[in-house]
Chain A
Amino acid sequence: GQQLNQSPQSMFIQEGEDVSMNCTSSSIFNTWLWYKQDPGEGPVLLIALYKAGELTSNGRLTAQFGITRKDSFLNISASIPSDVGIYFCAGQLSYGGATNKLIFGTGTLLAVQP
Chain B
Amino acid sequence: KAGVTQTPRYLIKTRGQQVTLSCSPISGHRSVSWYQQTPGQGLQFLFEYFSETQRNKGNFPGRFSGRQFSNSRSEMNVSTLELGDSALYLCASSLWGRITDTQYFGPGTRLTVL
Chain A interface residues toward B at CB < 8 A:
1-3, 30-31, 35, 40-45, 48, 50, 88, 90, 92, 94, 97-107
Contacts and interface: CB of A to CB of B under 8 A. Distances in A.
Contacts of B50: 98
A107 B107 contact: no
Interface residues on B, range: 20 to 34
Given A1-B58, A101-B58, A42 B108 contact: yes
Contacts of B55: 98-100
Interface of B: 4, 31, 33, 35, 41-45, 48, 50, 55-56, 58-59, 90, 92, 94, 96-108
Contacts of B101: 100
Given A1-B41, A99-B56, A104-B44, 11 more contacts: A1-B59, A2-B44, A44-B105, A45-B102, A50-B99, A90-B43, A98-B97, A100-B33, A101-B48, A102-B43, A105-B42
B76 to A, nearest CB: 15
Contact of B103 (A40, A45, A97): A45
B94 to A, nearest CB: 6
A42 B4 contact: yes
A90 to B, nearest CB: 8
Nearest to B43: A104
A31 B97 CA distance: 14
B86 to A, nearest CB: 16
A80 B92 CA distance: 28
